[in-house]
Amino acid sequence: MVHVEDRGFQFADAVYEVVRTYGGRPFAVDEHIHRLLHSLDAIQIRHDFTAQQLAGLIHEAVQRAGFAEAMVYLQITRGQARRHRGFPADAKPTLVLTVRGLESSATLRAEGVRVITVPDTRWSRCDIKSVALLANVLAYNAARQAGAHDAVFVESDGTVNEATAGNIFVVTGGVLRSPPKGPRILSGVTRDKLLQAAAAAGIAVTEERLQRDDLFSATEIFLSSTTAEVVPVIAVDGKAIGAGTPGPVAARVYEQFMRFFSVNKASRLPRHRVSDC
């Protein structure tokens, strides 16, 4: 049961994390938990659990669920307290963890998607993986109503940040470019892995500020996320990108990512169980 006065429900006073599996094993668990702990610290949610204990919960939940491939959703709220803006002194964090079967993103990768650009109306701490995602929800549904797959947030000065649930990559002159880490984007775990994979594949990589005009002059664009991995963008605001089909750089990066990380580097199952936490 989640109480009606849980602060996650009342104030979106909560953070979350998403982990996927490869070959039935949770992937990049340490990186995801590090980001989760960063989010908890950033909003001052006090807790007494360790990274190892969280990893144990994730691994055991995946084992118990028994899906061939799974998505793990983990959410931590500040806990139950009388509804008031001030931090409660004695609230105990609420932890919710679910596991769902995960389908392949191969179709998206093969066909590509269309996106639109929207004003970035989000708060200024997008590096915190907050559950307060109303701006993302509205932007995503605006894209769907426009016949597109997703929306990309663009600031008033033209700065491109990210999509509603993923990071963005642009290929210009054979160079793979992505917005730098900072408070305006979520530091994607898959994003970091893809940058490493691209460099290993011999593709020039830069992390730099992108402008809206860079989208339309790009030869390729793709999005990245934990669950969808690499999703080529074939059109932005109705304008075709490159040939209007998924491009070769996205394919090379994805292949290298799979070779380096998804199979060989999946996290090993820990020996402890939830009962040890």
Q: Which residues are catalytic?
A: 129
Rounded alpha-carbon distances, angstroms, from residue 16 to 7, 96, 132, 226, 239: 14, 9, 10, 13, 34
| 101: β partners | 70
Helix-strand-coil split of the chain, %, nearest 5: 30, 30, 40
Question: How far apart (Å, rounded) are the C-alpha atoms in residues 19 and 39?
Answer: 15
The sign of the dihedral angle between the CA atoms of 64, 65, 71, 72 is negative
Task: Give ∠ CA 54-223-177 in degrees, rounded to 5.
Answer: 105
Amino acid identity of 238?
G
Q: Which helix H or strand E contains 115, and what residues bound it?
A: strand 113-119
Q: How far apart are CA 187 and CA 244, in angstroms?
A: 28
Residues 6+ apart with CB under 8 A from 237: 115, 116, 117
